[in-house]
Amino acid sequence: MAGPALVLRPGRERSLALRHPWVFSGAVDRVTGDPGTGDTVALVGADGAWLASAAYSPASQIRARVWSFTVGATIDDAFIRRAVERAAAARAPMLDARHTAARLVHGESDGLPGVIADRYGDVVVLQCLAAGAERWRAALVAALAALPGVRCVYERSDAEVRALEGLPPRTGPLAGHLPPAVAILEDGIAYRVDPVAGQKTGFFLDQRDNRRLVRELAHERRTLNAFCYTGGFTLAALAGGAASVASIDSSGDALALARENLARNPALPAAAATWVEADAFADLRRLRNDGAVFDLVVLDPPKFAPTAAHAQRAARAYKDVNLLAFKLLAPGGLLLTFSCSGGISADLFRKIVAGAALDAGADGQVLRTLGAAPDHPVALAFPEGEYLKGLLVRKV
C-alpha cells in the first residue's frame, strides 16, 4: 500500500468498522513510512485491509483521527473546503435576523476532527485542536473566509487540549480584520462577544436552546444564575419576565461584559438584575446561610472533569453545587443544572444530582433532559461529541 500507514493490532479494527473516528495508541502495532505530525495516513487492519484515511498525531494518545472511511478519498484542500461548505450549509436555517450566531463546524461530528468554527455575525472564530486540523489550517481558513458574509477569521487555538497533541497555543487574526466590537443577536437579544479574551471562542453557543427555555420558564420567578459568565441566562430570564435575577461569577471582566450586554438591551428591566463577583460555591453558601429562596436556579459551571480520570473529584464539586441549589429552591422551584465535562457521563451526572437532592433532604422530578443546540450535532458513531449534559428538575 503506497504512502504511510498505521497497521493495527489484531481485533483493534472493530471500532473503525462501527465508524468511530479515533484510533488510540494502544491499538497501533506499527507505523510504516515516515509520517509527520498531522500527515494523512492509511489505517490498515492486521490482515492488510484498508480501513480509513486519518490524521496522524504521534504525541497524542489519540494516535489517529479519521478524515474519511471512503476508499480512494483524497485528503486535500478541496476535501476540506467541501466539508466546511457542507457543515455551514446545514447551519444556514439557524441563522436569520434574530439569530446571527451559530457553530458552523463541530469537529468529528462534521467530519473535521479537531476543528471548531463559531460564527458571530460576520466574524468566524476558528479552533484547531488536533494535529490534522493544524496541518490543514490554511485550507480551513480559506474555506471559512469564502463563506458568504464572512469578513474575518480569527484564531483561538489556545485550549489546553492542544498540548496533548504536542501543539503550542496560537491566537490572532487569520483573514480580514477583527472589528472593535463583535456583536450578535440571539432570540432578538443583543450581546457583545469577546473572541480575543473570552472563554472558548467568546460565547457559549451550545446553550442557545436552554437560554430560550429559561426565557419561557422565568416569568415572575425569583431567579439565580450561578457561573453566569457574560449574562446569557440572566438576559434570557429578564426577557422572560423574571421577578429578579441574581447573577454570580468569579470573573470581574465577565461581569463587566454581562452588564454591558444588559445595557445593550434597554427594553430589559435592569433594576431587576443584581451582579455578584465571587466564588460561586462560597456565595451559594452565603445565600443559604442568609436564608435566601429562589424559584428558578441555573447552574452552568466550568468543565470540572475534562477526562474520566478527573471524574471522582469533579463528582464531588457537582454534588456540592447542586446540593446548595436544592437548599436554595422553594418548593415547586425549578433547577436547570449542567455539566460540560467530557469525563462525566449523562448517567453519572443524573446520579450526582439525585445524590445532591437526597443529601439536601429534597425530592425532585426530572422534567426534561437537556443538551446542546442543533448546531452542535453528535455523530451516531461518536458519543464523545455529546459533551453537554443537563437536567430540568422540579423540587417537590
Catalytic site residue from 128, 152, 228, 340: 340
The residue behind cell 441555573 is 298
Rg from Cα positions in the chain: 22
Give the residues across from 22 on adjacent strands. Answer: 65
C-alpha cell read off for 191 = 450581546
Between helices 346-359 and 311-328, what is the axis angle to 10°? 50
Q: Which run of H or E residues covers position 369?
A: strand 364-370
- 340 in active site: yes
Q: What is the distance between the alpha carbons of residues 279 and 226, in angstroms, rounded to a whole number?
A: 9
Q: Which run of H or E residues covers position 329?
A: strand 329-339
- 370 touches 392 (CB < 8 A): yes
3-state class of 375 per DSSP? coil
First to last CA, the chain: 64
DSSP track, 198-233: SSTTSS-GGGHHHHHHHHHH-TT-EEEEES-TTTHH
Nearest C-alpha neighbor of 393 from the set 360, 342, 350: 350
Annotated active-site positions, please?
Answer: 340
